[in-house]
Structure 1
């Protein structure tokens, strides 16, 4: 009988596991709604929307997010793209209820776009300050969605860009160009998963290889997807993460 009760408690814990998603460069949760819906009802899922404040670099965002981590339930931390280093540094602090870390189309060190021989940190400073908010939508759309784009995503992408303060965008791009969270990643104690988008035009395979060197026990699933992996392949990504969490 005690074993049955233990099994029931385990099943209940699995059903109440929370997935906390940290968003990409836009910093909001609007572009993650399909992915969050795909995680439910198997998981309780929500995204943290960052303040639209240009003073908040990576260090400040880690401190901001730390106070918003669940304290009364087990949770998996999912870092999308820009937020990978935030998720890594939070996990390295070893919050007591953290059960797993998932990084999606992300990086631990300044990434190299597949089309460039140089990492983002080595590109000219003016490239980090390009006015992406006012860039032709077709250019941004091709970079983040590629052949997965459609009118619905085009409209949602434009709305997200319009809502983003250009000063915030410059701050975040500068942070990406300088980031190095490899030491923090090596200090992570929970199971770690990397979702790699094979058609990513912003983050090359080298970012996965860097993460694997820093934490060799990290597992990797490769998906035929663009950089907006959680948007274009929400159901597949949610299923992969869910099955992986079941094993851990």
Structure 2
């Protein structure tokens, strides 16, 4: 079974490293890495992702945080081979409910300039990471240009994929971080209200679950992915 990993706001895919070492041997991970192009919002990234989907084989998509709406948009198009979607600490609409959508235009690159990178990393981690992990995450964030992070935050503040969720026919599983300071529990409630059949698991940890709790996250991801294993009805090939 292939597992397509769609990264958080950094877009580098490098933050999946801890998770990869814990995945089951029957899972073949494919990590997406988004271009550093501030013009690429969710519509452009959807086109980018669709161009790289596996051909003639089943797969599961995991959307981490920023990429959750992208995973839903992809699933809504019913691509051949898709067996299910896993959302990790993600959302359908902006998780910052007190900020109106029009305020997205006020987001500036200087918010993500280097003096602010350390506080940003701490906010992502909450209180669940060791010093080595904090240093590594800051190093990854330092690779991402400030204008890219600002553009992706603007996209998050404007996004609303609730209509697309209605067109998703594959199963969805949600991984919820119990100490998440960025994505509140209400984000899962919104999903469940629109699609009651969505299943979920809770993991004790901060927003970056896949980085701070990789073993437990991998166990749940592998179990759910393998339970969905099989040839989808829209895949026109024979199973091995």
> Aligned Cα RMSD in Å?
1.8
1:1-248 alignment runs, 5 A limit: 17-112=1-96, 118-119=98-99, 121=101, 126=106, 131-248=111-228
Out of 69-78 and 149-158, give the one that drifted further: 149-158
Distance of 1:183 and 1:39 partners within structure 2: 32
Q: For each residue in 1:44-86, what CA deviation from the matched residue of structure 2 results, as whole angstroms up to 9, or x when unmatched?
A: 0121000011110010000110010111321000000000011
Q: Name the structure where helix makes up a greater proportion of residues.
A: 1
Q: Check conservation: 2:4, 2:60, Cα contact below 8 A.
A: yes
TM-score by length of 1: 0.86
CA offset at residue 170 of structure 1? 1.3
Pair 21,86 (structure 1): closer, same or farther in 2 beyond 3 Å: same
CA offset at residue 123 of structure 1? 5.8
Structure 2 unaligned runs (5+)?
229-240
Q: Check conservation: 2:177, 2:209, Cα contact below 8 A.
A: yes
Distance of 2:198 and 2:108 partners within structure 1: 30
CA offset at residue 87 of structure 1? 0.6
Structure 1 unaligned runs (5+)?
1-16
3-state SS, counterpart of residue 22 of structure 2: helix
3-state SS, counterpart of residue 46 of structure 1: strand
TM-score by length of 2: 0.88
Pair 130,205 (structure 1): closer, same or farther in 2 beyond 3 Å: farther
CA offset at residue 126 of structure 1? 4.0
Whose radius of gyration is greater, 1 or 2?
A: 1
CA offset at residue 160 of structure 1? 1.6
Q: Check conservation: 2:104, 2:157, Cα contact below 8 A.
A: no
Which one has more relative contact order, counting CA pairs under 8 Å at least 6 apart?
2
